[in-house]
Structure 1
Amino acid sequence: MLAAYVSGHGYGHLTRLCEVLRAVRTRAPRLPITIVGTVPEPLVRRAVPGDLTLRRVACDVGLVQRDALVIDEPATAARCAAFDATWDARLADEVAFLRESGTRAVLGDLPPLAFAAARAAGVPGLALGNFSWDWIYRHLSVREPSLAAHADRAARAYAGTDLLLELPFTGDVSVFPRRERIGLVARRPRVERAEARRRLGLDARPAVLVSFGGVGLPGLDRARLAEERGLSWILPEDVRTGRLDALGLDYPDVIGAADAVVTKPGYGIVSDCVAAGTPLVYTDRGDFPEYPVLVREMVRLLPCVHVPGDDVRAGRIGDAVRRVLAAGRPGAGAMDLGGAERGAARVLEAVR
């Protein structure tokens, strides 16, 4: 069996993990897979075909967000301290699970607990990611000193991995003893652009997807957006899972149908836009060290326009959208998109 652990922070970790698992399933249709984490089951079952077990366990903290753009650093520190207080019991539970289930390899994106458990259980541990949580927590510990201990614990766990399947947009991953670059893991649209637009009911106006993940942006001024008569807006309520299921679409199909995406930079949305060739209007996301790495790289791959967070909340994004639209769609193919297949090959080598 393959045990796949996933961080509970945002959808990006889950969606790229599922892309690798989809490729694993193609190569090994009968391999039992268990996903461990607090994950939305409908999204997982739509992404990974075949027999799949979900084990709902909170295996890390990630970051606590006030909304999509603001990190709650004190709450993050408090939750990390509470998690560390139960670390030994959590580790014992995961080691027992790995042994009793006959797990032959662990793939993790990117909870430290997964790799500590794999090491203790004596099974290979493979990490998937473009940064490590010890890097994030150490950066935030300047203001929240208690996070330094959590960073140290994460670093010890990562040091025991067998291999990091390293993705583009890489931050500090020096803690991993062995690393292999595999290329971009990204979801591709599976419905042709014109057909996806038809199913979404879009007209000839440029369509702009407003995408801020599961946390959302509650203060967004929708009335101001509606005043932009020359643009068609795809808002979070338009792309709820149930509606997309009814339309026979997945989220990457919506990204491919859009003429631009308004978002905060995160691996998941950036990689989806790269795969679809969809330009970005982006805003700030707090003092998150992955942010400048993503911005530096994504502007080389896609037309991108920055807009301040206050302007996004106020709906003052029409001008930025028109500027990025004027640059045109670059089309897919700007980056190596073979990461899922290469990652799957390495995972199956470990399982066997």
Structure 2
Amino acid sequence: MAESTGMLVAYVTGHGYGHLVRLGEVLREVRARAPGLPMTLVGDVTEPLVRTLVPGPLALRRVACDAGLVQRDALQVDEAASLRRCRELDATFEARCAVETGFLRSVGARAVLADVPPLPFAAAARAGVPSLALANFSWDWIYRHLAAREPAFAASAALAASAYREAGLLLALPFAGDLSAFPRRVEVGLVARHPRVPREEVRRRAGLDGRPAVLVSFGGLGVPRLSREVLARDAEFQWLLPEDATTARLTALGLIYPDLVAAADVVVSKPGYGIVSDAVAAGARLVYTERGDFPEYPVLVRDMPRWLGCVHVSNADLFAGRLSEPVRRALSLPRPPPADTGGAARAAEQVLAALG
């Protein structure tokens, strides 16, 4: 494809790794098709992780784009702190929008891609730049849900919906919640990372023997109450905990996180788009636990079984280390046929079309 002049500016929410890694997959595909296209990533994210996701030159601009939700840990939302954060950022929305509008104009932005803070869509509309959203849920939907218990969230929901209505096109992903705020949408399918090292080689590098391997994965926040000492009581399985899957350790082994997911026989986690899509692409089974009153949870629980083998474990059993029985049940499930995971390529084509 001929190179486009101008720049692609991508924005990412600060809420969890899943949004960043799937946005990174789309940017990888864009880079493969337009190697010389300048790109900037805007978000409150760490540079080392970004560099593992997107090859080649990529400018990084550290900006808190949205409030998201404040988490106590991987399974608990701090609603009071989340509301305070929403109020703080909502109060400065217009000023921050003016800054982003100026930034887009100053760098010659040709398109904006965001997953999925509201701010960049309002800024892109004011700058006259086409914008695309990448999402399976939107913050207006999340805040409306919370407003049933805390009505003050309704103002944040309304502000987010107003910004989303300025988006040019939504690239809709599976496991979708209410995305009705976006005026136009196209389904792109599952955006997922794939392992890059063969499974047996990963197991060798990671020091795994012939026993089934169980990867306990709860993102960067983790679940401090779950310890290796508790899990090691059952020697039938090999337990891989978050300290076994740090970016530094995986880099030292020449691996990326999806390699470890593929090497595991079962993943234990909360259901979120990132880990579910990793497990689908790797052909792993999932033992999942509830994650509080988060409206994405029932959508994932409803839709996951057609994508991968999955078994529920309660928070109480998880924290007590009673995982062996649900792991055995998960191992007994057949693997679904390989899924279509070409969403990143389809999303990249839409982005390049917007770039002209």
TM-score of the pair, normalised by structure 2: 0.97
Distance in 2 between residues matched to 1:264 and 1:165, nearest whole Å: 24
Helix, strand or coil at the partner of 2:307: coil
Residue 26 (structure 1) shift: 0.2
The CA deviation string for residues 98-125 of structure 1, in whole angstroms up to 9 with x for no partner, is 0001111000000000101111111001
Residue 329 (structure 1) shift: 3.8
CA RMSD of aligned residues (A): 0.9
The answer for the alignment partner of 2:255 in structure 1 is 249
The answer for the alignment partner of 1:53 in structure 2 is 59
Deviates more, 1:45-54 or 1:321-330: 321-330
Do residues 289 (structure 1) and 295 (structure 2) align? Answer: yes
Helix, strand or coil at the partner of 2:311: strand
Helix, strand or coil at the partner of 2:16: coil
The answer for the alignment partner of 1:179 in structure 2 is 185
The amino acid that maps onto 2:346 is R
The answer for the alignment partner of 2:88 in structure 1 is 82
Distance in 1 between residues matched to 2:322 and 2:227, nearest whole Å: 9
The equivalent position to 2:306 in structure 1, one of 286, 300, 310, is 300
The answer for the alignment partner of 2:282 in structure 1 is 276
Distance in 2 between residues matched to 1:210 and 1:328, nearest whole Å: 21
Q: 2:228 touches 2:239 (CA, 8 Å); kept in 1?
A: no
Distance in 2 between residues matched to 1:120 and 1:138, nearest whole Å: 26
- Structure 2: stretches of 5+ with no match in the other structure: 1-6
The answer for the alignment partner of 1:192 in structure 2 is 198
Distance in 1 between residues matched to 2:130 and 2:103, nearest whole Å: 15
Residue 328 (structure 1) shift: 4.4
- Structure 1: stretches of 5+ with no match in the other structure: none
Do residues 15 (structure 1) and 33 (structure 2) align? Answer: no
The answer for the alignment partner of 2:349 in structure 1 is 345
The CA deviation string for residues 309-352 of structure 1, in whole angstroms up to 9 with x for no partner, is 12112211111111111224446x1x221110010011011112
Alignment of 1:41-190 (within 5 A): 41-190=47-196
The CA deviation string for residues 195-223 of structure 1, in whole angstroms up to 9 with x for no partner, is 01111110001000000001110111332
Alignment: residue pair count: 350
Q: 2:66 touches 2:119 (CA, 8 Å); kept in 1?
A: yes
Q: 1:209 touches 1:260 (CA, 8 Å); kept in 2?
A: yes
Residue 177 (structure 1) shift: 0.5
The CA deviation string for residues 49-89 of structure 1, in whole angstroms up to 9 with x for no partner, is 11100000000011111111111111111110011111122
Helix, strand or coil at the partner of 1:104: strand
TM-score of the pair, normalised by structure 1: 0.98
Distance in 2 between residues matched to 1:240 and 1:280, nearest whole Å: 20
Please identify runs of 4+ aligned residues in structure 1 that moved more than 4 A: none
Q: 1:221 touches 1:314 (CA, 8 Å); kept in 2?
A: no
